[in-house]
Amino acid sequence: MKDDLKEILLTEADIKAICEDLGKTITEDYNGKPLLCVGILKGSVMFMADLIKHIDTHLSIDFMDVSSYHGGTESTGEVQILKDLSTSIENKDILIIEDILETGTTLKSITNLLKSRGVNSLEIVTLLDKPNRRKANIEAKYVGKKIPDEFVVGYGLDYGELYRNLPYIGTLKPEIYSK
């Protein structure tokens, strides 16, 4: 798998440091407030598992499975909810945990949906941000790292459901996804 990468953008140590820093900031912001962390499947699982270890406040977790890629490398803009939350979020403080924020169309749809359910507050934390790809008017309050406009895999991020198990994040060689 490593031979399919052009370069490694974030090492395991880089990711650990990001999770620690974000966890500390989120802990300060939600001190004494119970928090519901909503992971966006499947890509956020590894990041969510590592991040919440560093959030020192009462929290619970839930998941949504949402797709806008439908097997390709570009978001189609058409958002499908494959799995909705399993609990009521009315009057709760919600933190959406996402692996990567690119066009923002998926997250914009999710945030609009969740806000319509009467949440107390809603914020987004993303491990990676590609601001130059943004199509929707949305930003994450908590950002691990801004990255260039390259196709990245590893640490939950995939291409064709592969590469999620890499413990680091790298850029995929174009010839791999251009086949």
What CA–CA distance (Å, rounded) separates 32 from 128? 27
What CA–CA distance (Å, rounded) separates 164 from 157? 5
Pick the CATH number of 12-147 from 3.50.50.60, 3.40.50.1220, 3.40.50.2020, 3.40.50.800: 3.40.50.2020
Alpha carbon 8 to its chain's center: 19
Q: What is the pLDDT of residue 79?
A: 75
pLDDT digit string, tens, across residues 103-144: 999 899 999 999 999 999 999 999 999 999 899 999 999 999
Residues in the chain: 179
Strand-pair partners of 123: 95
Which positions are annotated as active-site residues? Answer: 102
Q: What is the pLDDT of residue 80?
A: 82
Q: Find out whether the peptide bond into 42 is cis, omega within 30 degrees of 0.
A: yes
CB 96 within 8 A of CB 110: yes
**What percent of the chain shows pLDDT beyond 70?**
93
Residues 6+ apart with CB under 8 A from 99: 40, 43, 44, 47, 126, 127, 128, 155, 156, 157
Domain boundaries, the chain: 12-147
pLDDT beyond 90 at 2:
no
Ranking 4-13, 58-67, 76-85 by mean pLDDT, the lowest is 76-85
pLDDT beyond 90 at 77:
no
Q: What is the pLDDT of residue 73?
A: 52
Q: Which residue has the tokens 């119970």?
A: 34
SS3 at position 50: helix
Q: What is the pLDDT of residue 75?
A: 55
Q: What is the pLDDT of residue 37?
A: 98
Q: What is the pLDDT of residue 72?
A: 53
Q: What is the pLDDT of residue 74?
A: 58
Average pLDDT over the chain, rounded to whole?
Answer: 93
Sequential DSSP letters for 108-142:
HHHHHHHHTTT-SEEEEEEEEE-GGG--SS---SE
Q: What is the pLDDT of residue 66?
A: 86
